[in-house]
Structures are given as C-alpha cells and as structure tokens.
Structure 1
C-alpha cells in the first residue's frame, strides 16, 4: 500500500519529461497523445498544460471533459494513471500563470494569442503501478 501517495506520485511526475494525456472522440474511443509535462501542478489533484485552442483535443474536451493523464518512469518501470476532468481555460490570469519564455514558437501572438489556452486537469482517482503490483487510490478534494 502506498504510504504517502502525494509524495511518491509527485516525485515520479516531477522527474518525467513526457506526459500522456487522453480524451474521448465522438465515437467513444480513447485518444492518447504525448505532451510536454504539466507547466504547474497542485499536489496530485490539479495539473495545468498548454495547448492550441484550435486543436482536436480541445474540441473533444469541450464535448466530453472526462480525461486521464499518465506518467511513466521507464527506468524503474513504474507509472501512474490519474482519472478526472479537463477544463479549457482562456482567461488572461491562467494563461499568464503558466506562460514561459519561448512559447511564442507555438503561440506567435504571445500570451494573448487566441490559439493559446490552458488545460486544467482535476484528478478524482488514480492507479499506481510499481514492483509488479497495481494499486487504486482516491484523490481527496
């Protein structure tokens, strides 16, 4: 049993250079893509990612906000899947909060680029895999 899920899982997440994020398409099939790690996280419940407002993924989340994110430590073959929902944030405060120098390569008009938005993922539960065992856990709000 995980002694301190927040610490164990938080450390795993912070060391990864890639995250995997999933949505559901109009036919009910999962769609997963690799993304850069979250720009910000609040514990293991809330995560912030950047993406293009015009993307297929944003359209899918607008239609069905159910989502999951996955982080894998390939060196030790451990991983964590978090299930929850995604909100599309287009307000200036959230966009500025996670903006980084160099983002103009993706969003040429800067932090106010209409094609720049923030995905806020809020986890409700998860599943952790390590040492040939999996464990489900709830995430408190």
Structure 2
C-alpha cells in the first residue's frame, strides 16, 4: 500500500491523536527486542512531533540513546493510531517548563528542575490509523450487517500516511 501524502490525511492523524493522552512508546532494547511502555503525551497539537518526560537513567532513555528508531501507538474506544519515527533525548528546561503539568508532577516529584529529568522528542515519519466513527455502536451494527449479508466487515476509515 502506498502511503498517503495529502494534507487531509496528515490532518486526520493530527485530529485522531489530539484526544488521546496516553501513548505506548516502543523502543529497541540492547538485545534488539521491542519494548513498549505507557507514556503521557505532552502536546495536543500534533505536527508530526510528540513530547514525553523521562528520567535520564531510565531504560527508556538508555534505549533511545542507543537506538533512536521508535514507535508510538495511541488508542481510544474507537480509534487506533500507529506512528513510526525517531526519538531523541532533549535537555531543554524552557521546553520542560512549557510542557509541565500536574500529571507529570505525580510521576516526577522532583519537579521541572530535577537534574534527572529529560524530554523525549519523537518525530513521526509515517503513521497508520483505523477510525470507527460512531464508536462501538456503529462498529457493532457494521459487524452484524457483515454477518447477516456475508459481506466483508467495514469497520471504518483506515489509511497509511507519510509524515516525513
């Protein structure tokens, strides 16, 4: 499947990611295994970049320092987004202050000036989404219709998007 490069497709990814606060950040560990962990997304205006807070000595930070290839998955009751790209560790106190909120403080009680605090800057290169407008009710109706008619289940919109 060829990736969609239209501004509408990029805007669709932005719209779908905006309402999802927790993402799964996937990195590559030293043995080459994929490792995913939940992370709180810090910016709601998706432009291909996402920001997360981590501790400098965390496995997440170590994995990113060794291999910047990363993935981010976001999901809600009716939407799934998968992003692939690269991540870098950014030690920028001004950006950290800009992104700081009470949710972060619960995980990082040392505060925004904690010397062990750093940012993960994720840059998406490609994305794929699955969206079921109407949520679970619409999905259930489409599923039932497929079973009754013998036609293939149409769960909604999906696309592969080039974000680079």
Deviation sequence 1:25-83 (CA, Å, 0-9, x none): 111110011222x1115534111111222211100000001101011122x2x311111
The answer for unaligned runs of 5 or more in structure 1 is none
Aligned length: 137
- 1:18 maps onto 2:22 in alignment: yes
TM-score (norm 1): 0.83
Q: CA RMSD in A?
A: 2.3
Higher mean Cα deviation, 82-91 or 126-135? 126-135
**Equivalent position SS for 1:96:** helix
Q: Taking structure 1 as reference, are residues 18 and 104 closer, same or farther at Cα in structure 2, changes over 3 Å only?
A: closer
Question: Which residue of the other structure, out of 40, 43, 46, is the alignment partner of 1:43?
Answer: 46
Normalized per residue, the structure richer in strand is 1
Taking the aligned partners of 1:35 and 1:48, their CA distance within structure 2 comes to 10
Highest CA radius of gyration, 1 or 2? 2
- 1:136 maps onto 2:160 in alignment: yes
- Pairs within 5 Å for 1:1-141: 4-36=8-40, 38-74=41-77, 76=78, 78-101=79-102, 103-130=104-131, 131=155, 134-140=158-164
1:6 CA drift (Å): 3.0
Normalized per residue, the structure richer in helix is 2
TM-score (norm 2): 0.72
